Chain A
Amino acid sequence: MFGITLLTFVLFNVVMGDPSLRFAGRHATAEQVASIRSELGLDRPLHEQYIFYVKQIVTFDYGRSWSTKQQISTMVGDAVGPTLSLTIVPFISEIVFCIGLALFAAYFRGTVFDKGIVVTCLALMSISSLVYILVLQNFFAYQLGLFPISGWDPSWTGRWQYLHLPWIIMFTLSLGPNILIYRAVIMDEAFQDYVRTARAKGLSNRAVYARHILKNAMIPIITIIVIGMPFLITGSVLIENFFGIPGLGGMVVKSLNEQDFPVVKAMTVLLSMGYMFFNLLSDLLYGVVDPRIKLS
């Protein structure tokens, strides 16, 4: 954590230059720039600025955005709901669907089903995510009018109508890479000695896959899923922008573009903490999936 705070601090306070010039505007005089630098606390010695930054992290008080002057905690609180509403449904459904299809492909490995799935996945992956968004939004929302083109309603009952099409796109986007990676993991397990032993004991192929291969494949699968969890928050910038969803991804990108360091620093720390939490969670889950793994 210390490394992360130091890295982000050096990156934004030393490498990326002076944001007071940007916030002063094009009419500002040198005096006004100096005044803004002082207001932003950028005229203080670097070690003092770093201590202040660490204090903010410890107290979870990240102050206000330089750009919008909002409380950062409020900004994050407002944006996290739309982002999770957007990402959780396709994330869960994609896991279930992709593992199922990967099992199916592995079960029928080498057959036309397997080859068909692999080729389809490769074809899906070869298209840019922007193309999916542009084409599906144009076809389903604009041409057919089945979904709203874009928009957002903060109420829990009103928001879903705006999420159906983004969900379908996110789900489609994840199919190619995920099915292939889950299939590879399952295939890897399918040639292990314990599988041969299970078959020698007379277990049917289906039972071998359901009881043994899938269970053992869950360890790398859990790792893959957990690694993907931070993308629940940041991985949907394009979708948010095209569908007008006020989420965290767009907020982070805007903050980066505007050199809004307090927001970027807060998000970097929060995401790092989230990443560490999810890694810990995956370690705990290993023990649940495979009782041989014990935490010591």
Chain B
Amino acid sequence: MFANLQTAAVKSARHYQRAAIAALLLGAMLFVASSCTKKVDDKDTTINIVLRANVKGLDPIRANDLYSSTVIAQIFEGLLQYNYLKRPFELEPGLAEALPVASADGLTHTFKLKKGVKFQDNAAFKDGKGRELTSKDFVYSWRRLADPKLASEGFWIFDGKIKGLNEWVEAMKTGKATYDTPIEGFATPDDQTLVIKLTQPYYQLYYVLAMQFAGVVPREAVEKYGEEFLNNPVGTGPFMLEKASDWVRNSKITLKKNPNWRGETYPTVGEAGDKEKGLLEDAGKPMPFAETLVFTELTEDSPRWQNLMKGNFEYAEIPNDNFETAVTKEDRTKIQPDLTKKGLRLDITPNVDVTYIGINMKDPILGKNKDLRHALQLAQDSQTLIDKFLNGRGVAAQGPIPPGVSSYDASFKNPYAYNVEKAKEALKKAGFEGGKGLPEFTYDGLADSKARQQAEFFTQNMAAIGIKVKINANSWPQFQERIKTGKAQLFGIAWGADYPDAQNFYQLFYSKNHTPGPNDTNFTNADFDKLYEASLKLPPGAERDKLYTQMRDIVVEEGPWLFNAHRVGYRLVHGWVNNFKWSEVQNDTFKYLRVDPKKRSELKPKL
């Protein structure tokens, strides 16, 4: 008995010994983990930015998604840029010395370059020192954009609009041209002068020149790195990728201040109210303010939100799931008091976009029956959709043009806005009373849960007037294929502005842009086409806006789109971030931002 007890005691001792070792190991792990919490440096000006998707490549010709464009815009520059503060959006010189001089017929545009602009230092240059920018660099960069072998998604900005460019593209396909073959539309009389000659008036030219696709790259670097240039970017921008290892793919990109940057000062004039918001406190001060930019790629909402709350990112959009905990119920323009106490503030900026349900106008039933399309629009409850699925972050779209874009008319109301009784009447007029005689339609959407819920909501809306709709959930590529090959009957999608000109939206209805072009609904209307073509020949102004209004009325009346919402972005910004003004059309905004390191070192540890 005693021996047994002794054995049991030894066993027990061993057991406790093992448990103690395990506890020690766990404790050590926790200690190591907790010791990782770093003290906040009160001199660190780094700006930490979170991206919701992975960056694909750092080459202007690959700037085809928002996240890649955001990083590209810090490294590369174009001739023009947007004024950071002014609204409506206004262009100003970037690498150009001044806004261009246009010929009387609007077909020739002459740009003078800023003097002394240098590329970032890189091993591609002699002695590793960035050389001076010349007008030939732009021509080289735009040839790359058009090069059929590089198949850039951005070629549309010049396609058919520059004298001799499409001929050069054809000659490149057959090997009859090289990068040294002259193109009439891109002339460089000297190193500081660039002349663009157009085939037709193209009043959106200046806007597209402010897009990241039109950024300038040095030929030496492209030739040195070849296909790896997108991992070794060299531009003229305020920030640079010092070494390739500063980009950890699918994780983090660290950019450093470019010591060669041409220099720029913070704007001295903004829109009304900017001064009161403190957005002019740094007026006239040299930029950029940050020494380093760190872009972290995080695809999931939950860790993004938690990191924001801990001050690991300077700002971020409020995810759907956290909206109620962040914004007060009583007043949707205010955040909860505990967040205010932490120094956070709310930025509300309307997106320049429109969400809609497209109708394939080649469909034998939907495409040929305007009353039926009216019935669908009248049955679509956009406001409930906004309330339920966007937490109220949006305004019901009355037409295709969002606020912030030329010719937008806030007083215009869609005559076919939600009204179930009218929808039933329209359906009767269409010859399908109560939905009788109609086949089941197919709605194509994306497969994620949010998109599926919105699709379900659409089917409920349609069921209310007797129209049956089944859902087809797709991955993005499958969805694109369904639309671009004309297989989709009804499809839920959105369009965000490439630039703040209504033409960017109206091109989506022009019959020469049928799928696989941007006119996804294959809408055809001779009157619309005439107005669209006439609008292209007009400079921005009242005359053009008048045409835009007529085009809007045709689109609303013909109903190839069921309008849903213009979304509104809600972002939380930490108290140590200065000069924050969200812009939907420009990405080169981080040179304007200033972090107050002292304030951050005080506030962040308390989060």
Task: Give A residues with C-beta under 8 Å from B.
Answer: 16-19, 21-30, 32-33, 35-36, 39, 64, 67-70, 75, 78-79, 134, 137-138, 141-142, 145-152, 154, 160-161, 164-165, 241-246, 250-251, 254, 256-259
Judge if B299 is at the interface, Cβ distance under 8 Å: yes
A24 and B306 form a contact (CB under 8 A): no
**With a CB–CB cut-off of 8 A, which chain A residues contact B57?**
68-70
* The stretch of B307-315, B400-408, B454-462, B569-577 that contacts the partner chain: B307-315
Judge if B278 is at the interface, Cβ distance under 8 Å: no
A70 and B249 form a contact (CB under 8 A): yes
Which residue of the partner chain B has the closest CB to A25? B153
B153 and A250 form a contact (CB under 8 A): no
B64 and A25 form a contact (CB under 8 A): yes
| B477 partner, pick from A35, A64, A258, beta carbons under 8 A | A258
**With a CB–CB cut-off of 8 A, which chain B residues contact A16?**
478
A164 and B159 form a contact (CB under 8 A): no
B303 and A69 form a contact (CB under 8 A): no
A149 and B29 form a contact (CB under 8 A): no
A22 and B477 form a contact (CB under 8 A): yes
Judge if B480 is at the interface, Cβ distance under 8 Å: yes
- Rounded to whole Å, the gap between the CB of A146 and the closest CB of chain B is 5
B475 and A148 form a contact (CB under 8 A): no
Inter-chain CA distance A224–B299, complex, in Å, is 33
Which residue of the partner chain A has the closest CB to B31? A146
Task: Give B residues with C-beta under 8 Å from A.
Answer: 29-30, 32-34, 36-37, 54, 56-57, 62, 64, 148-149, 151, 153, 155-156, 159, 173, 227, 230-231, 245, 248-252, 296-300, 302-303, 306-307, 309-310, 312, 475-478, 480-481, 484-485, 513, 516-518, 520
B56 and A67 form a contact (CB under 8 A): yes
B516 and A29 form a contact (CB under 8 A): yes
B475 and A28 form a contact (CB under 8 A): no
| B307 partner, pick from A39, A149, A160, beta carbons under 8 A | A149
**With a CB–CB cut-off of 8 A, which chain B residues contact A256?**
475
B477 and A134 form a contact (CB under 8 A): no
- Rounded to whole Å, the gap between the CB of A269 and the closest CB of chain B is 21
A150 and B307 form a contact (CB under 8 A): yes
| A146 partner, pick from B34, B56, B149, B245, beta carbons under 8 A | B34
A151 and B32 form a contact (CB under 8 A): no
Known: A29-B517, A242-B302. 20 other contacts (CB 8 A): A23-B153, A27-B153, A32-B155, A35-B148, A67-B56, A69-B227, A78-B249, A134-B302, A141-B306, A151-B251, A154-B251, A161-B33, A241-B300, A244-B251, A250-B299, A254-B54, A256-B475, A258-B476, A259-B475, A259-B477
Which residue of the partner chain B has the closest CB to A31? B159
B303 and A137 form a contact (CB under 8 A): yes
| A17 partner, pick from B159, B245, B296, B481, beta carbons under 8 A | B481
A148 and B36 form a contact (CB under 8 A): yes
Which residue of the partner chain B has the closest CB to A144? B34
**With a CB–CB cut-off of 8 A, which chain B residues contact A75?**
249
**With a CB–CB cut-off of 8 A, which chain B residues contact A30?**
516-517
**With a CB–CB cut-off of 8 A, which chain B residues contact A145?**
34, 37, 310
Inter-chain CA distance A35–B155, complex, in Å, is 12
- Rounded to whole Å, the gap between the CB of A172 and the closest CB of chain B is 13
Inter-chain CA distance A77–B30, complex, in Å, is 31
A246 and B251 form a contact (CB under 8 A): yes
A21 and B476 form a contact (CB under 8 A): no
- Rounded to whole Å, the gap between the CB of B152 and the closest CB of chain A is 9
A257 and B250 form a contact (CB under 8 A): no
- Rounded to whole Å, the gap between the CB of B394 and the closest CB of chain A is 21
**With a CB–CB cut-off of 8 A, which chain B residues contact A259?**
475, 477
A27 and B156 form a contact (CB under 8 A): yes
Query: Assuming the A-B contacts A17-B477, A69-B227, A146-B33, are A151 and B296 also in contact, with contact meaning beta carbons closer than 8 angstroms in the complex?
Result: yes
Count chain B CB atoms within 10 A of each CB in A32, A134, A243 and give the residue with the most: A32
A27 and B518 form a contact (CB under 8 A): yes
- Rounded to whole Å, the gap between the CB of B47 and the closest CB of chain A is 17
Inter-chain CA distance A32–B64, complex, in Å, is 15
